[in-house]
Amino acid sequence: MNNRARILMSSLAAALALVAAPAVSAQQVEGIVALVNDQPITTVDVRNRMRMIIASSGQQPSPEAIERIQEQAVRGLIDETLQLQAAAEFEVEVDSAEVDQAIDDIAERNGTTRAQIQQELATAGVDISTLRRQLEAEIAWQIIVSGRYGSRIRVSNQQIEAALERIAASASQPQYYIAEIFLELTSAGGEERLQQQATAALNALREGAPFQVVAQQFSAAPSAANGGEVGWVLGGQLRPEVEQVAQVLQPGQLSRPIRVPGGYMIIAMIQKREGTTTVQYDLTQVTVPTSAVTDNTAAQLRQALERASCETVDGAISGIPGAFATPLGAIPASSLLPNIRDALNGLDTGDHTQVLETAAGRQAFLVCERSIGGPGMPTRDDVEEQLRGQQLSNQSRRWLRDLRREATIEYR
């Protein structure tokens, strides 16, 4: 155990003995665990947070798990204090009705009611104010992060196209309906400690702790607000190291902790299906039959294609002996000959292939429209929103990390 953990364990000795006990008068155990910019976090705060985490997991923790839960509780309270302090600086206030709605959303996802949540927490010795403070900090932080960075985030057409190309490349691969837990690597504890936390989270899940609850309490991913649920994703949307694991998981199975940039990820495979997403082209074919081919045909076709579109192609090729254009309409990429499909790879609406030598003579293809369709296929707007959310999440983590580094945090 490191020095910081020893200090915390010493400060919380009385509180830890009461973690699983009924509610106790604050005067009996209250002390200061940490000061965050002179604002205190008390043993009562930490005990209530620990009780809430334990009650949410539905598991009786081991002594080793108690230490990890304690560190998680203290860290979470420090982050929330910093978030609420930032919200106060920007004069952002969260209405109690917004917190009520957030609790109702949690209740709906878990098939219960706000009153039942309050009763379950009370049974575990946790005042509802503990949950309300956590949600208030989350809502306030979302507001100020969006206000500070939302207008700065730019998602370019190139980024969207690149993402769609990755998805198109995986069109025939399986699709996954997954939930995730992302444990972020920070300076506190380091790699070894994070590995232990990831293993502990996985063990809790295997022992029956609800995935949604563990994700809500521990995951640093944006999906934590939805209980870790990501929804349907295509193979090309996952990190390669995550996709390798997803390929072998069966519905109902959990992954091992997967090392990814910035931390560890655990995924739950909810459903799986074969890829039915297809790339589809609306093509116009330009042909110079073999009988009309000359030494200049290829060069003439290349020059004509540079100034041609699907609407103007007839005029563009009118000076080439024997050349004619044929609208082919919508054709799935899987129905094309391999050499034509390869020539079209990477092309978008308005592009054209190189001049191909085929059994019919010299041919080229203009892409009048290119689309990707099928179950689970995101639209351009979906992809843009996903990329925007990723950038906003990255900015959020960086800002919170900066607040931790700049804050005066004293452990008692």
Per-residue confidence at 367, pLDDT binned at 50, 70, 90? Answer: very high
- pLDDT at residue 1 above 60? no
What was the pLDDT predicted at 252? Answer: 93
Neighbours of 201 (CB within 10 A): 24
Looking at the structure, tell me whether residues 204 and 338 fall in a common domain: no
What was the pLDDT predicted at 364? Answer: 95
Q: Residues 2-16: pLDDT tens digits?
A: 443 333 333 333 333
What was the pLDDT predicted at 412? Answer: 83
What was the pLDDT predicted at 136? Answer: 94
Q: Residues 210-219: pLDDT tens digits?
A: 888 888 778 8
What was the pLDDT predicted at 279? Answer: 79
Looking at the structure, tell me whether residues 79 and 53 fall in a common domain: yes
CB 143 within 8 A of CB 64: no
Residue 289 lies in a domain: yes
- pLDDT (mean) for 222-244: 84
Looking at the structure, tell me whether residues 45 and 124 fall in a common domain: yes
- pLDDT at residue 23 above 80? no
Looking at the structure, tell me whether residues 14 and 127 fall in a common domain: yes
User: How far is residue 108 from each of residues 52, 271, 326, measured CA to CA in Å?
Assistant: 19, 21, 56
Looking at the structure, tell me whether residues 209 and 339 fall in a common domain: no
Element (H or E) spanning 40, and its range?
Answer: strand 39-42
Q: Which residue has the higher pLDDT, 313 or 18?
A: 313
Residue 360 lies in a domain: yes
- pLDDT at residue 283 above 90? yes
Residue 59 lies in a domain: yes
Looking at the structure, tell me whether residues 269 and 282 fall in a common domain: no
Q: Provide the CATH number for the domain around residue 294.
A: 3.10.50.40
Looking at the structure, tell me whether residues 311 and 246 fall in a common domain: no
Last residue of a domain, one of 228, 260, 276: 276
- pLDDT at residue 294 above 90? yes
Looking at the structure, tell me whether residues 264 and 176 fall in a common domain: yes
Say how far apart CA 297 and CA 355 lie, in whole Å: 10
Residue 392 lies in a domain: no
Q: Which residue has the higher pLDDT, 393 or 270?
A: 270
Which among 75-84, 161-170, 372-381 has the top mean pLDDT? 75-84
Q: Residues 350-361: pLDDT tens digits?
A: 999 999 999 899
Looking at the structure, tell me whether residues 195 and 264 fall in a common domain: yes
- Core vs surface per residue 69-78: b (16+ CB within 10 A) or e: bbbbbbebbb
With a pLDDT cut of 90, the percent of the chain lying above it is 42
What was the pLDDT predicted at 171? Answer: 62
What was the pLDDT predicted at 8? Answer: 38
- pLDDT at residue 19 above 80? no
Q: Residues 44-67: pLDDT tens digits?
A: 999 999 888 888 766 677 777 787
Residue 138 lies in a domain: yes
With a pLDDT cut of 70, the percent of the chain lying above it is 88
- pLDDT at residue 75 above 80? yes
The token duo for 107 is 């209740």
What is the sign, positive or negative, of the torsion defined by CA atoms of 309, 311, 315, 321?
positive
What was the pLDDT predicted at 375? Answer: 61
The dihedral formed by the CA atoms of 5, 68, 194 and 229, expressed in degrees to the nearest 10: -150
Per-residue confidence at 363, pLDDT binned at 50, 70, 90? Answer: very high
Q: Provide the CATH number for the domain around residue 117.
A: 1.10.4030.10
**Mean pLDDT, rounded, of the chain:** 84
Q: Residues 316-362: pLDDT tens digits?
A: 999 999 999 999 988 888 788 889 989 998 888 899 999 999 989 99
Looking at the structure, tell me whether residues 146 and 39 fall in a common domain: yes
What was the pLDDT predicted at 190? Answer: 77
Range of the domain at 241: 172-276
Looking at the structure, tell me whether residues 8 and 136 fall in a common domain: yes
Looking at the structure, tell me whether residues 294 and 230 fall in a common domain: no
Residue 219 lies in a domain: yes
Q: Residues 86-122: pLDDT tens digits?
A: 999 999 999 999 999 999 988 887 788 999 988 988 8
- pLDDT (mean) for 175-191: 83
Burial category of 386 from C-beta neighbours within 10 Å (exposed 0-12, middle 13-18, buried 19 and up) = middle
What was the pLDDT predicted at 164? Answer: 76
The domain total for the chain is 3
Say how far apart CA 308 and CA 351 lie, in whole Å: 10
Say how far apart CA 301 and CA 326 lie, in whole Å: 15
Residue 385 lies in a domain: no
